[in-house]
Structure 1
Amino acid sequence: MQWIENFKDMYTKLDAHSLELLDQFYHPKASFIDPFHRIDGLADIKEYFAALYSNVEAIGFNYNWQVAEQSQVVIGWTMTYQHPRINRGREVELEGVSRITLKDGLIIQHRDYFDGGSMLYEHLPVLGTAIRFVKGRMVAA
């Protein structure tokens, strides 16, 4: 499905200065949901991405697999990002899945599923140490 390839290509090009690319894919009343946020409306989605991209030093996606069926698309991905206050500014890798629902050929809902702890909390100085300790204890139990 060419639309999926175009969508994935758009996200590899997206940055704080190219947010107009989202207009080609998202419905004006679209919702974007992840473990930390729910954003409704394309204007607010663009605002969210503007803030996101202005705070990271680098971000990229590798797409691992996909399943498409009429108005639903599910894409597995690996995101790599660098943020100056996370993981001492070193690169972080995160596995996730996007579930996309289309309406009239545009995204009406984009929901990302990923482990918020792996993305953020485990890489913060004090909290990260505590979370890794608890995870280790759970495996050993």
Structure 2
Amino acid sequence: MNVPMPGGSSTDARVRRVAAAYEALDGSAARLDALLALYASDARFRDPFNNVRGHAALRNIFEHMATQVREPRFCITESACEGDAAWLRWDFSFAGGRIDGASRLVFGADGRVLEHLDFWDPARQLYERVPLLGALMRLLRRRLAAPPQR
């Protein structure tokens, strides 16, 4: 098993390349092209809002993100890899907010990403910041949570 290393850097070269490409994203087309080159042409990407395949769809997601948030930045905090499956734990920060999550990657025989699944909680990390919706989400969270132990 390829375990997480200090500073969040896996010893697997494929994982290190993907992590570095995410951390280098700056909104420029060149950096996005470098990231997409690490994905198979028909790679699947899924997050809480999207479920797409292919470079054009991936490009659309990242270009849209760049129009929705200012100063976006990914920081990979942990990574692990076993065989062709890897996990990245990350923080995504932007002007006025931060999201923490994890991604599961599956690599193909050529070392490019075939599947990228993102896991993060939009209810807690986005919706609860919206004034009226946030109050409703916090109320639902309190009602659905297990009662404190006595």
Q: TM-score range by the shorter chain?
A: 0.7 to 0.9
Q: What RMSD over aligned residues (CA atoms) do the two structures have, in Å?
A: 1.8
Counting matched residue pairs gives 133
Q: Among 14, 19, 24, which residue is 2:37 paired with?
A: 24
Whole-angstrom CA distance in 1 between matches of 2:88 and 2:35: 17
Q: CA deviation at 1:21?
A: 1.4
2:19 is matched with which residue: 8, 13, 16?
A: 8
Aligned-partner SS, 2:72: strand
Match of 1:136 in 2: 142
Matches within 5 A, 1:59-78: 59-78=72-91
Residue identity matched to 2:41:
P
Identical columns (%)? 26
Q: Which residue of 2 aligns with 1:110?
A: 116
Query: Does the CA contact (< 8 Å) of 1:36 and 1:116 recur in 2?
Result: no
C-alpha displacement at 1:129, in angstroms?
A: 1.6
Whether the 8 Å CA contact 1:73–1:100 is kept in 2: the answer is yes
- Gaps in structure 1 of 5+ consecutive residues: 83-89
Q: List per-residue Cα deviations over 1:95-124 (Å, max 9, x = no partner).
A: 211000111211111000111212321111
Scaled by the length of structure 1, what TM-score is found? 0.84
CA shift at 1:20, angstroms?
Answer: 0.9
Deviations 1:53-109 (A, max 9, x none): 121112222222221012111111122223xxxxxxx2x222211000111211111
SS of equivalent to 2:74: strand
| Structure 1 residue 35 corresponds to structure 2 residue 48 | yes
Q: Match of 2:48, SS?
A: coil
More strand by share: 1
How far apart, CA to CA, are the structure 2 residues paired with 1:8 and 1:101? 14
Quick one: distance in 2 between partners of 1:43 and 1:139? 40
Match of 2:130 in 1: 124
Code of the aligned partner of 2:100: E
